[in-house]
Amino acid sequence: AILPGAAFNRPANEFTARLATVNFDGAKALAKCETIPLDTPLPDSFTKTYCKETLDACKRIVKWLHD
């Protein structure tokens, strides 16, 4: 989903947007989280393993913005 920045009190003349990406298996991610103690940060490999498609999409958006 994408919403204009004005929906989040950004100035109407500012070119901003908020993206919501949820292309991952939440059940698998939560199941894995339950095996990690609450006081332990998630390893960097966690998002690469359980949210790869979302991360790839974000990288493609950043590349598109810079090109």
Q: What is the pLDDT of residues 35-62, one digit of tens each?
A: 999 999 999 899 999 999 989 988 998 9
Write down the pTM of the prediction.
0.63
**Beta-bridge partners for 19:** 2
The CA angle 4-2-41, to the nearest 5 degrees, is 110
Query: Contact, 50 vs 32, CB < 8 A?
Result: yes
Q: Note the pLDDT tens digit of each residue in 17-36.
A: 888 877 888 899 999 999 99
